[in-house]
Amino acid sequence: MKVLFLNNVNQQCDVYQYGKRLYDILKTSKPELVNYIYIEISCENDYVASILNNAPGIHSIIYNYHVSTMSWLTNTNIQRKVKNIGIPHESPRDLFDIVCSINPIEQEMRNKYSIPRPIYENVDKLLQNYTPSTPSIKAFIEYSEEGVPIFGSFGFGFLNKGFDKIVKIVNDQYDAAIIKFIVPGAHFDGNRDGAVSLMEKMCHNVPLKPAIKLMITHEFVSNEDILLFLKSNTMNLFLYDDMHGRGISSTIDYALSVKIPLGISNSYMFRHIYSDKICLYKNSIAECMQNSVNCYSGFLEEYSNNKILQKFEKILFTPFLFENPHSGVISSAKSNCSVSILNAQRCKRGIFYNSRQSLCSIWESGKMCYDALKNSTNYSLEYSEETRLDNSYDFAIFNEHYLVNNWISREIIKKFNKPTFCIVTEVTFGNNPVGSSPDYFGHYIVLDPTIWETNRIHAFGRPIEEFDLSSINSDPADDNIPKIFSFGFATSGKEWHKIVEAVQNEYDAAKIHFNIPDGTHVEKVIHDNVLRDIRLKCKDILRKPGIGVKITSDNLTKTELIKLCSTKTLNCFFYNREHLCKSGLAAVPDQAIASGVPLLITQDRTFRHIHTYLDYYPNIGIKQAIEKNRDGVLKMKRDWSQNNFLLKFEKILSTC
């Protein structure tokens, strides 16, 4: 039986590594029973070639699938001659005839199987003739001090993996210890350098006792390096955030393989091995160290390589259970595959429903999304501010908000019965980012690139427009005087006066400009009271004659606002409102980012989408932000471009 096993090509990726580990187990199957053929593919052409080059006689195709690593695979180009067996990683499952869940404790049902975790067996034998891949990683792994415990962890450099929490918990419970982390950047993290750098800074910001040593390397190393590293530690610790709704962590596969004491958090990603006995939030490190020794035997038996082989033999040899079964094997790949891939389809028609035009960040965010999405060549998209759904369209996008665009109902969506997408601007803090939105939409376009995605909830960067600012110049007469700018509506928690305070602390002369227009949804009396309060507070703070503050209330167009931002030395927002809100992501930085001028924000969660790109006040001051933050702003412009926003939506729409 010939079975293709398709993986992506990017090694610096959890999904790739999972697929490679699984294939290395499957290839030990008896070849007269199943002949697994491993192929790495990066695009649709590779996919077609993999089938053409291995026909005739293909029985099934296994896809180690993530929507990011195989974004080109859709229900219109996937072959339909033989079984498509998908191993989806936090991705849609409806492309496949058979689904293999990477969660070994998920309940099985018709055409859905849960598969054991691909752990390493006989690690000692694997490492017997092995030497570390580089001198630097060899020195890192071998470093020790007599009598001092070593606590290790590893994983790609995402901020939700809790490396800084490991540092804190070890420091709290030990007077002397070595803490070692291997944390490379992930290939599919668009801001991997920034995330890794911030993660390391967070770790080093934890105050340490004199005899606690922290060592971090960002080398991307081999699997054997990881196994030797984990095996050399006294204990391995993993303190991921809760991350409810996420998949299964692959780091635990390696940790189980080396049979070294293990401590974990109560993260949803550890649910397949979770026990109070090894949870560091319920026990001390020493207690988890002792308890974990007794936990290994059960997991190692459940996740044995032999059980993986048996499970896939069951999947491959089980008779078809489809209403429209595929036939036999691919005997002529050219006639059965290429035709389906080249099938032409009618261009889809979509409709975008925004709130009524007003001076409102919700309307503005919706218009930005539409302006990005309307440029597709794969579909047409019309714009509407009406409150009636036209059922003639193939899909619909709603900039829904409970205050300004709340006419959509469950009955309307049910009657439409086609793909629907909800723009989420009111991003909820906590585990469910769409908690402020109705649950009846098919998909959610969440304007927050930091949230964790599911097959319905999608993280998008804010679609930053590209403007030609080459003709814009600041006032040459004032080049030596910094010009600090901030803008926004007169709502709570923006602490305008703190900007004045910070500027005055660092400069003897500066020009500060606040533009606070009348907002459609801000009552006139509130607007006037807020401006009066800002003026009074600024007057009390100002003590240097060279610091000037100007407050205007001009209703500027987006182009005018971006041009104004571009003439400043620094655009600045000092929000302090997360204690007042349960949700939200600031929209005001969009125009500041589009201007390309350095930006300074606070630690407030409303700026969480910016924190992986820029350090925040008071970690850095006004002068440092002017000197250092331009590159981060330009990177946001690139990562959150309208084109990237469009491409991601097109990929999602293609699976609907």
Instruction: Please determine, for residue 38, whether its predicted confidence score (pLDDT) is greater than 60.
Output: yes
> Could you tell me what percent of the chain has a pLDDT over 90?
54
Dist. CA 180–CA 139, nearest whole Å: 12
Lowest mean pLDDT among 120-124, 198-202, 292-296, 578-582: 578-582
What is the residue extent of each domain of the chain?
A: 2-118, 123-302, 348-463, 476-639
- For residue 570, which of 612, 494, 623 has the smallest C-alpha distance? 623
Angle 32-36-42 (CA atoms, 0-180°, nearest 5)? Answer: 165
Q: Where are the alpha helices (DSSP H) in 403-506?
A: 410-416, 496-506
Q: Is the pLDDT of residue 334 over 60?
A: no
- At residue 341, the pLDDT reads 37
Here the tokens at position 173 are: 């419970």
| 476-639: in CATH 3.30.56.10 | no
Tokens read off for 144:
């020790």
Which residue type sits at 421? F
Q: Grade residue 338 by pLDDT with cuts at 50, 70 and 90.
A: very low
Question: Between residues 587 and 424, which one has the greater pLDDT?
Answer: 424
Q: Residue 479 pLDDT more than 70?
A: no
The class (CATH top level) of 348-463 is: alpha beta
> Residues 62, 6: contact at Cβ < 8 Å?
yes
The string over 72-88, giving b where at least 16 C-beta atoms fall within 10 Å of a residue's C-beta and e elsewhere, is ebbeebbbebbbbbbbb
Give buried/exposed letters for 373-399 (b at 16+ CB in 10 A, else e). Answer: bbebeebebeeeeeeebeeebbbbbbb
Q: What pLDDT was estimated at residue 187?
A: 52
In this predicted structure, which of 96-110, 123-137, 143-157, 338-352 has the lowest mean pLDDT?
338-352
Sign, Cα dihedral of 497, 598, 576, 424 = positive
Statement: the pTM of the whole predicted model exceeds 0.85 = no
Fold (CATH) for 123-302: Rossmann fold (3.40.50)
Q: Does residue 264 contact residue 270 with C-beta atoms inside 8 Å? A: yes
Half-sphere exposure of 326 (CA within 13 A, CB side): 21
219, two tokens: 């080398």
In this prediction, residue 404 carries a pLDDT of 79
Average pLDDT for residues 579-594, to the nearest whole number?
76
Phi, psi (degrees; rounded to nearest 5) at 526: -70, -45
CA angle 238, 242, 245 (to 5 degrees): 120
Cα gap 298→304, rounded to integer Å = 10
Give the type of residue at 188. Answer: F
Per-residue pLDDT at 58 exceeds 70? yes
The answer to whether the peptide bond before residue 56 is cis (omega within 30 degrees of 0) is yes
The contacts of residue 21 (CB under 8 Å, 6+ apart) are 118, 120, 223, 253
In angstroms, rounded to a whole number, what is the distance separating the alpha carbons of residues 250 and 266?
16
pLDDT grade for 582, boundaries at 50, 70 and 90: low
Q: Which CATH architecture has domain 2-118?
A: 3-Layer(aba) Sandwich (3.40)
Q: Say yes or no to pLDDT of 546 above 50.
A: yes
632-656 burial: b if 16+ Cβ within 10 Å, else e: bbebbbeebbbebbbebbebbbbbb
pLDDT recorded at residue 296: 74
Q: How confident is the model at residue 513 (pLDDT cuts 50, 70, 90)?
A: very high
CA 101, CA 107: separation in Å to the nearest integer? 9
Is residue 261 within 8 A of residue 233, CB to CB? The reply is no
Query: How far apart (Å, rounded) are the C-alpha atoms in residues 423 and 369?
Result: 8
Nearest to 214 by CA among 225, 226, 200: 200
DSSP summary character for residue 102: S
Q: Return the C-alpha torsion angle 556, 645, 454, 589, nearest 10.
A: -30
Q: pLDDT tens, 429-452?
A: 777 889 889 999 999 999 988 888
State yes or no: pLDDT of 390 exceeds 80.
Answer: yes
> What does the pLDDT read at residue 335?
37
Under DSSP, the state recorded for 330 is B
Residue 66 has pLDDT above 70, yes or no: yes
476-639 shares the fold of 348-463: yes
pLDDT, residue 150, reads: 98
User: What pLDDT, on the 0 to 100 scale, is given for residue 645?
Assistant: 93
Task: Return the pLDDT at 319.
Answer: 64
pLDDT of residue 433: 87
Q: Which of 192-196, 380-384, 514-518, 562-566 has the lowest mean pLDDT?
A: 192-196
Find where tokens 């595929």 sit: 326
260 in Cβ contact with 227 (< 8 Å): no
Predicted local distance difference test score (pLDDT) of residue 476? 45
Of the chain, the percentage scoring pLDDT greater than 70 comes to: 91
Reply yes or no on whether the pLDDT at 343 is more than 60: no
